[in-house]
Amino acid sequence: MSDFAFKYFNSELDNLALPELNQILDKVKTLISVKSGEKSTSFTRELGGLEEGYYMAPDFDETPDCFKEYM
């Protein structure tokens, strides 16, 4: 990277708030992992995600009408 490009990006990054910098860092990590063939680690799980429960339609197991002709 040229000195000009480095100075430009450095000055632009200095004007950003921490949440914006974190978004950029996550994007850069994703791009690097895609290029190297690794899976992205930007998704983090949180404990207790299903404590409030979840909704499943009462007819979840029924075959939709549009698929009955294929059964």
Q: Are 40 and 29 in contact (CB under 8 A)?
A: yes
Torsion of CA 46, 47, 53, 55, to 10 degrees: 30
Q: What is the pTM of this model?
A: 0.41
Each residue's pLDDT, cut to its tens digit, for the chain (71 residues) gives 688 888 888 888 888 888 898 898 888 888 888 777 666 566 677 777 778 888 888 988 888 888 878 87
